[in-house]
Amino acid sequence: MHKEHASVRDIFSLPVIVAALGYFVDIYDLVLFSIVRVPSLKSLGLEGKQLIDYGVYLLNMQMIGMLLGGILWGWLGDRKGRLKIMFGSILLYSLANIANGFVTSLPAYALMRFIAGIGLAGELGAGITLVSEVLHTKIRGYGTMLVASIGVSGAILANFVANTYEWHNAFFIGGGLGFLLLFARVKVAESGMFKAMEEKAGVNRGNMLALFTDRNRFFRYLNSILIGVPIWFVVGVLITFSPEFAVSFGIPEPVSAGNAVMFCYLGLVFGDLSSGLLSQLFQSRRKVILLFMLLSVAAVALYFMQGSSSPAFFYGVCSLLGFASGYWAVFVTVAAEQFGTNLRATVATTVPNFVRGMVVPITMLFQFTKGLFGLENGALLVGTLCIVVAFFSLGALEETFHKDLDYYEEFL
């Protein structure tokens, strides 16, 4: 169970460090494909429009893998334990990435991205669940803050490695980092709450259907997902299509999507650190999410009002968008804290992956509104919808900062 007294040393304990490094490698692998998409597809003999079409296809294979993986690992996390899931997911995506370095055909590439997606889905939820259960109530926000801010900086390493090494080697490095992690986590202990639940007879664990059979539980789950949607509107639309927006705004020099991603993730690192610290300072998760959502509104407004600025200013706005979206750690922590020990890993693992999966309907809606109202107005319409829905969902969720997590969800 939780220790009676919380100390700063606990925040830097082995479970927190391993969960943070796990998420670091997870993010490295997650964004690596986006960065090496063009050179890797060109080496398979594709060119022109095919680079976008097959790039989207491979990204969707990875996202479908993540959605399925989120359900699988979440269920296993409540049935078999938080640590086994971290172990299994790291092993799977490390093997898939090493295999990815050997691909010579598009079907093999698609299969590896799908398998990697399944593996990548387990890391964050298992890590956040473990850290939330191992740390004292008063300091668990610091733990999850460390996990997210160290993790998100994996995108910066991915950008550096992809620009320094040939794309095959970038995948090999990702796989190698994963195997190094497996050695690091050998000494990490399982969550005491999970062990106690395992020993207790008759506790229904990891029953995902239970999230849909009770009205109160279903809305807690749905609202936990919807508060994260603005983050992926920013990443999936404003950052991904930044070269097109830069042209539309009249920015004189070309803007690179790779740089936009890097500056956005750099902002995310500081955003996650700040939101975690502020949630401890205010002793509230909801107030901090509200503050960062309002910051997101301001950052999105600045993005569309910048006009024909310079690429440097544009990247600065990307960093600000990243910072304002940096409530990712607090958002996943809120999801974990909304539910009992017997459903916690299921929720904490599926929620971030469903939010990532929301990129598909968000981009489809953006394509539709873009056709009707143009690039900028179409994006503004979709962004407004995402943010309004998130505000309503946040209002419906309970504050969980002081909540004792040692309880079970009761269902038949």
pLDDT in tens, 312-369: 899 999 999 999 998 887 888 888 888 877 777 788 888 888 888 888 788 888 888 8
pLDDT at res. 1: 41
Name the residue among 349, 312, 315 with its Cα closest to residue 332: 349
Compute the distance between CA of residue 265 and CA of residue 182 in angstroms, rounded to an integer: 25
Left (φ > 0), alpha (ψ -120 to 50) or beta: where does 264 sit?
Answer: alpha
pTM: 0.80
Q: Give the number of other Cβ atoms within 10 Å of residue 173's Cβ.
A: 21
Q: At what angle do helices 328-337 and 257-282 cross, to 10 degrees?
A: 50
Mean per-residue pLDDT, 268-289: 88
pLDDT band at 265 (very low <50, low <70, confident <90, very high): confident
Portion of the chain with pLDDT greater than 90, in percent: 20
* Distance between CA atoms of residues 329 and 83, nearest Å: 19
Q: Residue 3 above 50 pLDDT?
A: no
pLDDT at 385 over 90: yes
* Residue with the larger pLDDT of the pair 250 and 207: 250
CB atoms within 10 A of CB 253: 9
Percent of the chain exceeding pLDDT 70 equals: 88
With contact defined as beta carbons under 8 Å apart, do 153 and 24 qualify?
yes
More confident call, 300 vs 3: 300
What average pLDDT does the segment 163-167 reach?
86
Mean pLDDT of 285-303: 94
CB 332 within 8 A of CB 344: no
Quick one: pLDDT at residue 201? 57
Averaged confidence pLDDT in the chain = 83
Task: Output the six-digit token pair for 101.
Answer: 């370095």
Most confident of 64-73, 132-141, 195-204: 64-73
80-90 mean pLDDT: 79
Beta strand segments in 229-379, E: none
pLDDT number for residue 361: 85
DSSP classification of residue 403? -
Write the single-letter amino acid at 394.
L
Query: Residue 392 has what pLDDT?
Result: 94
Question: What pLDDT score does 409 carry?
Answer: 61
Give the E-state strand segments of 146-275 in sequence order: none
Q: Tokens in use for 322? A: 């990243």
pLDDT at 172 over 70: yes
CA-closest candidate to residue 324, choices 256, 383, 365, 379: 383
Residue 206 has pLDDT above 70, yes or no: no
77 has a pLDDT exceeding 80: no
pLDDT tier, 300 (very low <50, low <70, confident <90, very high otherwise): very high
pLDDT at 317 (0 to 100): 94
Residues ≥6 apart with Cβ < 8 Å to 324: 234, 267, 271, 292, 295, 296, 298, 299
49-58, 180-189, 278-287, 295-304 — most confident range: 295-304
Whether the per-residue pLDDT at 297 is higher than 90: the answer is yes
pLDDT in tens, 9-46: 667 777 788 888 888 888 888 888 877 877 888 888 88
Q: Are 137 and 402 in contact (CB under 8 A)?
A: yes
**Is residue 163 pLDDT above 70, yes or no?**
yes
pLDDT score of 267: 92
Q: Which domains does the chain have, with CATH numbers?
A: 8-188+204-396 (1.20.1250.20)
Give the residue, 82 or 102, on which the prediction is more confident. 102
Q: What letter does residue 339 receive in the DSSP assignment?
A: S
